[in-house]
Structure 1
Amino acid sequence: MSSIPPAPLDAAQLALAAAPFGSSRMLPRAAYLSDDVLAWEREHLFSGWMCLGRSAEIKPGGLRAESVGDYGVLLTRDPEGELRAFENACRHRGHELLPCGGSSDAKAIVCPYHAWSYRHDGSLIGAPHFKEVEKFDKSTLGLKSVRVQEWHGWVFVDRTGAAEDFTSYIGELEGIVAPYDAGTLVTAETHTYEVAANWKVIVENYQECYHCSMIHPELCRVSPPTSGENVELPGNWVGGWMDLRQGAETMSLDGRSGGVAMARLDEHELSTVMYVAVLPNLLISLHPDYVMTHQLVPLSPGTTRITCSWAFPADVAAAEGFSPAYAVDFWDLTNRQDWSACESVQRGMAAPHYEAGPLAPDEDGVYHFVSKMARAYQGS
């Protein structure tokens, strides 16, 4: 992968963040507050592989548009089920083909401005009043393709087309996620939050339970806050696992499951929860009986939109009387506790004399993320 220019951050402070664990510091204050840093991140971090949500949201014959920073990507799935991605811009005068965040079931993609129409494979069907135009070659005016990949039910795009091979990007996370058969799971509920904190503050919070005994009494009742360990394996992700307390079946307010454990999990996976941050914007929480996803979209240096979804085995979700509330209620409460803490961190870092502090021995997971970010900011 080609080198990238360094971010507009103090080089000495970045060196501290990249120093060995035990002597390192958090990222410099400007990394969380600066418009210029967010612009750099959008150009260099959010330009490679990034998650756009669950692939089941795009049904055969369906369309969905998502923002990827300064412009949108249009996802299509043809009647045969093949997923494609295109720049969300008409080849005529650039009008968006579908508003970002919108979806549609349609036999063709029709621009709402001048009615140019396209097939689900991006080829141009027709353009009003162009039949008599000489040298008008429809074959040269198909939609511009964007690299796309489905992985265990999540959709990733690489809008530059220059990112590393997806297999290398995911690395050894493949073996960790595969037993959960996440691609076959059914999303039962989705919540959207707008959090007044930088996206990295949210990822850092997710990578440690050093804070759990202070703000998560419900979580601590079902999972020891000092349990588990973080792992370092190849791939553009960071993560680790935590134990469930003896007698607890899953993460819920009473530790009981309202569903059924995944069929292919081993003894360790049945007694732990795995937390993974797939960089830059996907958090995956692997429970014995459900998978929770947080998809992050930075709206500004101090605001992040988070889409949280809960997915269950299809037969469980379809069973009469099933309710996802046991998982949703637990995590909605825990999420809101986290968001409150993250927003307080963001306000605190805005103080004029705030300086990045050291990491505690329990924050090795945070270090894995922060040091990755520091190296990326350095252009390495």
Structure 2
Amino acid sequence: MSQTVTAQQIPPAPVDAKQLADALRPFGESRMLPRGSYFDPEVLAWERRHLFSGWVGLGRSDELTRPRMMKAYPAGDGGVLVVRQDDGSLKGFENACRHRGHELLPCDGSTEGRAIVCPYHAWAYRLDGSLLGAPGFKDVEHFDTTEFPLHEVELREWQGWLFGNMGTTQPFEEHISGLEPIFEHYDGADLVTAELHEYDVEANWKVVVENYQECYHCPSIHPELCQVSPPASGDNLNPQADWIGGTMELRDHAATMSLDGHSGGAMIGRLDEVEQRTVMYLGLLPNLLISLHPDYVMTHLLIPTTPERTRIRCSWAFPRAVTEAEGFDPAYAVDFWDITNRQDWAACESVQRGMANPAFLPGPLAPAEDGLYDFVHYVARKYAGEG
């Protein structure tokens, strides 16, 4: 991107100072994030510039399987156009024409072609981003096509996911530091997305992450989940880099998370004995929630659209050999999580409505919400300008 943001440059967020100080207290004494951070458009604008300005999850890289395929992803203050090159590599560009700034593809739009063509005035770019031609400029003096390439965005493919650098100097390896050993046996690059659901949730994106980071609520709203996994099982990992997470165990009768605990797929090949009986929940901040199951990987990609609305792209990925097997049906995993997701979204929307009451103040965290504290403390430190 044309502008980089380092930790030292981050200004404090426009939130209530007293409530922020309470959120920064040690676990057991702290409160939730400032109330205004869930409603104020200025806070969301700050988050887009300073939380969504580093490495941001864009989607599964298998959305672009062939050369010359391209897709536009929302990210930060704008968007990223990702193009699969003829040699199979990927390049990313700001999704804005160098002429008048028109989007090269609409958000979430995709196409395939030998060139990138702006739909407004038909400026055309090669797949490497260099300007190929501009209608009406052929005889214009002093017009030099080399002065108007698309602005490149640094991309990384990792474990089957695609990430864009929206303006940080932080190396990607530092962003995911400590995650490689956790993902080592899941062979993420070999997984294939079998199904994708989109949900529009009437809640702030942080409410969704907060819900994901604790199972304190599971006995109240997730009877199906509690049938296959004890809600108090597992443990949270020590926070590292830009990620947080923890584990839950499967009940003795359950091979995976499905409505009856059976698997309609196959065990991911290289998992050890612990991984075969465990579901790992990871939040790769700011916007990617990853659930590692013994036989599939589910991802929630969060896109804040307003302070009180979040679009969630939920995908289910399975080993390639499983997806290619005759008669494979991902419904056993998809149906279970669609029910569970909708239970979560209803709770998140109720939280959002409840916090709107004028007398509401951020509450304390329960002893079982230590994973939630990791997220709250991470965001609170960012709000305080601590990087």
TM-score (norm 2): 0.96
Question: Residue 97 of structure 1 aligns to which amino acid in structure 2?
Answer: L
CA contact (8 A) 1:49 1:163 kept: no
- Shift in Å at residue 233 of structure 1? 4.0
Residue equivalent to 1:152: 159
Amino acid at match of 1:303: R
Equivalent of 1:19 in 15, 25, 31: 25
Conserved in 2, the CA contact under 8 Å of 1:207 and 1:366? yes
Q: Map of 1:26-175 to 2, 5 A cutoff?
A: 26-59=32-65, 60-160=67-167, 162-175=168-181
Q: Which runs of 5+ in 1 are unaligned?
A: none
Kept in 1: contact 2:153–2:166 (CA 8 A): yes
- The yes-or-no answer on 1:218 pairing with 2:224 is yes
Is residue 315 from structure 1 mapped to residue 318 from structure 2 by the alignment? no
Distance in 2, Cα, partners of 1:71 & 1:233: 29
Conserved 8 A contact 2:255-2:277: yes
Matched, 1:346 2:352: yes
The SS at the match of 1:229 is: coil
Name the stretch that deviates more: 249-258 or 19-28: 19-28
2:272 maps to 266
User: Are 1:179 and 2:185 an aligned pair?
Assistant: yes
Distance 2:141 2:89 in 1: 34
User: d(CA) in 2 for partners of 1:8 and 1:92?
Assistant: 34
Q: CA deviation at 1:191?
A: 0.5
Q: What is the Cα deviation at residue 293 of structure 1?
A: 0.3
Task: State the Cα distance separating 1:136 from its structure 2 match.
Answer: 2.5
SS in 1 for 2:315: strand
- After TM superposition, where is structure 1 displaced by more than 6 Å over at least 4 residues in a row? none
Residues 213-270 of structure 1, C-alpha deviations (whole Å, 9 max, x = no match) = 1100110010000000000142201100000011210000011100001111111110
Alignment partner of 1:356 out of 343, 362, 365: 362
* 1:203 shift after superposition: 0.4
1:14 deviates by 1.1
CA distance in 1, matches of 2:76, 2:170: 20
Judge conservation of contact 1:297–1:306 (CA < 8 Å) in 2: yes
User: In the alignment, what sits opposite 2:343?
Assistant: 337
**What displacement does 1:115 show?**
1.5
Give the aligned residue type for 1:207. Answer: Q
Q: Describe the SS at the equivalent of 1:101.
A: coil
**Distance in 2 between residues matched to 1:154 and 1:260, nearest whole Å:** 21
Does the 8 Å contact 2:298/2:317 carry over to 1? yes
331-340 or 104-113: bigger deviation? 104-113
Q: Distance in 2 between matches of 1:65 and 1:316?
A: 29
In structure 2, stretches of 5+ residues that fail to align are 1-5
Q: CA deviation at 1:69?
A: 4.0
**For each residue in 1:261-305, what CA deviation from the matched residue of structure 2 results, as whole angstroms up to 9, or x when unmatched?**
111111111000000011110000000000000000011111000
My pick for the range that moved more, 65-74 or 197-206, is 65-74
Cα distance in 2 for residues equivalent to 1:198 and 1:349: 11
2:3 corresponding residue in structure 1: none
Task: Give the match's secondary structure for 2:7.
Answer: coil
Residue 140 of structure 1: how far off its partner (Å)? 2.0
Contact kept? 2:239, 2:245, Cα under 8 Å: no
Question: Alignment partner of 1:230: what SS?
Answer: coil
**Which is further off, 42-51 or 324-333?**
42-51
Which letter maps to 2:353? R
Q: Which moved more, 1:197-206 or 1:67-76?
A: 67-76
Correspondence 1:284 to 2:290: yes
Q: Which moved more, 1:63-72 or 1:178-187?
A: 63-72
Amino acid at match of 1:154: W
The answer on whether the counterparts of 2:76 and 2:166 sit within 8 Å (CA) in structure 1 is: no
CA distance, structure 2, for counterparts of residue 41 and residue 132 of structure 1: 45
* Amino acid corresponding to residue 266 of structure 2 in structure 1: V
Alignment check: 8 A CA contact 2:216 2:231 kept: yes
